[in-house]
Amino acid sequence: MPSAMVAFSTFLAPTSLKPSTSLPSTTTRRNIKPNALPFSSSNAFSARVHAYRPLRIRAIDAAQPFDYESRVAQQFHDAQRLKIAIVGFGNFGQFLAQTLVRQGHTVLAHSRSDYTDEARKLGVTFFHNPHDLCEEHPEVIILCSSIISTQHVLQTLPLHSLKRSTLFVDVLSVKEFPKNLLLHALPSDFDILCTHPMFGPQSAPRAWTSLPFVFEKVRIGDDDRRIERCEKFLNIFEREGCRMVEMCCADHDMFAAGSQFITHTVGRVLEMLMLESTPINTKGYESLINLVENTYGDSFDLYYGLFMFNKNSLEMLERLDFAFEDLRKQLMGRLHGVVREQLFHNAGIGKGQSLPDDYGYKLLKKGQNGSAPVLSLPSKEHRCSFVFQIYTIIYLPR
Ligand code: NAP
């Protein structure tokens, strides 16, 4: 023990003063010379200390065998860590893994395809065989396969190799389907947490701040350890700044059909138009291009899953179709009106007379097919004039 810097405290007062551990009184650090230490009972200074202020060494300024504070911090950190297995290590599985690893969790993965190299780069241990994965006894299993393959993937997992209390989490973009599936397929000992992180590698490649994380605690055992484990898992997303939304799966699907499914549908329609940036982009047009960028990277399986496994999606698709048709009718109706007016005016037909209701529309359709409309109107002179005017309305930009 270095003798140069020694600290003393009056906090504890032992009944007897042992020479090897007891030193003169002081409440501050001070330099002590070895020959000033009270190893001899004949030392007057020592006697005075013994009589009035027996002391014990509380701390020294030399390096400690361990740093208490950092040990406590480490223990706390370890207690927050989970052993998490990701099943389905595709686009979204790898995206999630980055954050889990960064937060210090132990991450294992399994997928249909071989992702050994990708996993290694991310600090994840990859298992080709689901048995090997389950025998590692992860505390949490995240189901991250495509919506349409999840039932099959779950059936291939050797559940008997897992600990009985394992927490199953799904991140599927639809919620009622996996909830029913997990309740049906998993033994009652397993915990179930249904979640939907409402962002992905396209929409949130860097940060998740303020982005919604929807969850329903479908079945969490009531002992403290299980409750704490579920909270630790949710804390992963809280720590990233997500907006935590506890919501039942049925409500999620209702809202998601009106928002997410419509977003993906419109994004895919726009993608088909192959929109390109122009030198005169408006803000609105920029948003459309962003929408395409946000949705084009997602697989068609994901989009198909949103449609097939959310009972509200079909209705939304029909409403979208209806709205589009309605809008088109409004436009065509106006155009029809303009054409009729022109026809009547130029034909000199009085108010009492009229052409058939669908006359103008048929005329337009004929014109739209690429051929100039041919009219059977009173005179040849009028006919030529009408053909020219209709042609102008349809083909020339105003
Ligand atoms: P995805 O196309 O929905 O799913 C791809 C994953 O499914 C891959 O891991 C793939 O495994 C696996 N898979 C597909 N067919 C399979 C089959 N027949 N058997 C076994 N595994 C199969 O794309 P994703 O974006 O990665 O989404 C994964 C899950 O996360 C989905 O449930 C999705 O709804 C959800 N999610 C995605 C996002 C997002 O932004 N992308 C956001 C929130 C939630 P292999 O790669 O090994 O073939």
CA of 85 to the centre of ligand 1 (A): 15
- Closest Cα to atom 8, ligand 1: which residue? 90
Per-residue pLDDT of 178-231, as tens digits, reads: 999 999 999 999 999 999 999 999 889 999 999 999 999 999 999 999 999 999
- Closest Cα to atom 17, ligand 1: which residue? 149
What are phi and psi for residue 213, nearest 5 degrees?
Answer: -120, 110
- Ligand 1 atom nearest residue 89's Cα: 9
Residue 274 identity: M
- Is the C-beta atom of 94 inside 6 A of ligand 1? no
Match 């929408």 to its residue by tokens: 291
CA of 181 to the centre of ligand 1 (A): 17
Residue 265 identity: T
Cα within 13 Å of Cα(398), Cβ side: 6
- Closest Cα to atom 14, ligand 1: which residue? 146
pLDDT at 343: 86
CA of 40 to the centre of ligand 1 (A): 78
pLDDT at 353: 57
For residue 30, give the H/E element and its range. strand 30-31
pLDDT at 389: 56
- Is the C-beta atom of 88 inside 6 A of ligand 1? yes
Per-residue pLDDT of 47-101, as tens digits, reads: 554 566 777 766 666 666 567 777 777 777 777 899 999 999 999 999 999 999 9
CA of 256 to the centre of ligand 1 (A): 18
Match 């459309």 to its residue by tokens: 288
For residue 192, give the H/E element and its range. strand 191-197
- Structure tokens of 347? 């034909």
CA–CA dist 233, 142 (Å, integer): 10
Angle, helices 300-308/262-272, rounded to nearest 10 degrees? 140
pLDDT at 398: 42
Mean pLDDT of the chain: 81
For residue 57, give the H/E element and its range. strand 56-60
pLDDT at 18: 43
**3-state class (DSSP) for residue 227:** helix
pLDDT at 178: 98
- Closest Cα to atom 4, ligand 1: which residue? 146
- Is the C-beta atom of 173 inside 6 A of ligand 1? yes
pTM of the shown model: 0.73
pLDDT at 42: 46
Helix intervals (H) in 162-223 = 176-185
Pocket mutation for ligand 1, best pick of 99, 145, 249, 304 (most atoms within 8 Å of C-beta): 145
- Closest Cα to atom 6, ligand 1: which residue? 145
- Is the C-beta atom of 152 inside 6 A of ligand 1? yes
- Closest Cα to atom 18, ligand 1: which residue? 149
Contact 212, 241 (CB under 8 A): no
- Is the C-beta atom of 89 inside 6 A of ligand 1? yes
pLDDT at 340: 86
Q: Would you give per-residue pLDDT tens digits along the chain (398 residues)?
A: 344 344 443 333 444 434 444 444 434 444 444 444 444 444 554 555 456 677 776 666 666 656 777 777 777 777 789 999 999 999 999 999 999 999 999 999 999 999 999 999 999 999 999 999 999 999 999 999 999 999 999 999 999 999 999 999 999 999 999 999 999 999 999 999 999 999 999 889 999 999 999 999 999 999 999 999 999 999 999 999 999 999 999 999 999 999 999 999 999 999 999 989 999 999 999 999 999 998 988 999 999 999 999 999 999 999 999 999 999 999 999 998 888 888 888 877 655 555 555 655 555 555 444 444 444 444 545 544 544 455 455 545 44
pLDDT at 80: 80
CA of 172 to the centre of ligand 1 (A): 8
For residue 9, give the H/E element and its range. strand 5-9
- Is the C-beta atom of 93 inside 6 A of ligand 1? yes
Match 């990701």 to its residue by tokens: 86
CA–CA dist 336, 354 (Å, integer): 14
CA of 382 to the centre of ligand 1 (A): 64
CA of 93 to the centre of ligand 1 (A): 7
How many C-beta neighbours within 10 Å does residue 146 have?
Answer: 21
- Is the C-beta atom of 153 inside 6 A of ligand 1? yes
pLDDT at 131: 98
Angle, helices 262-272/313-347, rounded to nearest 10 degrees? 50
CA of 201 to the centre of ligand 1 (A): 12
**3-state class (DSSP) for residue 273:** coil
